[in-house]
Amino acid sequence: MDLNTAESTATAPTETAAPLKVAVILASNREGRFAPVVANWFLAHTDRHPEIETDVLDVADLDLPVSLKYRLDPPAREQVAAIGARLAEADAFVVVTPEYNHSYPAALKNLLDWYRTEWQAKPVAFVSYGGVAGGLRAVEHLRQVFAELHGVSIRDTVSFHNAGAQFDDEGRHRDPAGPDAAVKTLLDQLIWWGRALRDARRVRPYGG
């Protein structure tokens, strides 16, 4: 093989990877919640990202049973199975969460506890909001929970401190430069880990 052929082979572009399937989880079901504002801001960034496809799971709409029963009536069993299928289909997760009493919402814990293998060997990123702490105490608790579930939490987060004052009445951030830079870093890390772990699961199914 001559050098020109070798060089062209080495630099030939690989087949474009399939978009990463990202489940975006809205963690709050509180009346009057701020979650849709933050989630819509985040989705505005993912909607124009060619490497990501999103599926939004809003805990306020999931209607999961709050009792972890082995025997469920048919409608509840179908609902649990349908949500599980969506989680299993995801390559990665982004949790949009507030902070309730130094932790994360009970509705999110209920969602996490219903499933197991669906979370395993997949990256999880966090977009948090709240008062002075910006929801970061909720994120720190969630890192421990996802580690137990064999999820891989992404280091960098997006957090909104005193979130209500940061957005205008149209849901636009008043000073977007910092959050826009933070969400780019988060998505870059999520895509790297999402692709790496997706490829690894295809080669060798995870058995945690």
Task: Render pLDDT for 77-96 as a digit per residue (tens, 0 to 9).
Answer: 999 999 999 999 999 999 99
pLDDT given for residue 208 in this prediction: 56
φ, ψ dihedrals at 75, nearest 5°: -60, -40
> How many other C-beta atoms lie within 10 A of the C-beta of residue 62?
19
Task: Render pLDDT for 111-150 as a digit per residue (tens, 0 to 9).
Answer: 999 999 999 999 999 999 999 999 999 999 999 999 999 9
Closest C-alpha among 164, 160, 108, 95 to residue 129: 160
Burial 131-150 (b: 16+ CB within 10 A, else e): eebbbbbbbbbbbebbeebe
φ, ψ dihedrals at 24, nearest 5°: -100, 115
pLDDT given for residue 16 in this prediction: 60
pLDDT given for residue 69 in this prediction: 87
Cβ(146)–Cβ(155) below 8 Å: no
Residue 95 DSSP symbol: E
Q: Describe the chain by its helix, strand, coil percentages, rounded to 5.
A: 45, 20, 35
pLDDT given for residue 78 in this prediction: 96
Q: What is the mean pLDDT of residues 155-161?
A: 97
pLDDT given for residue 70 in this prediction: 85
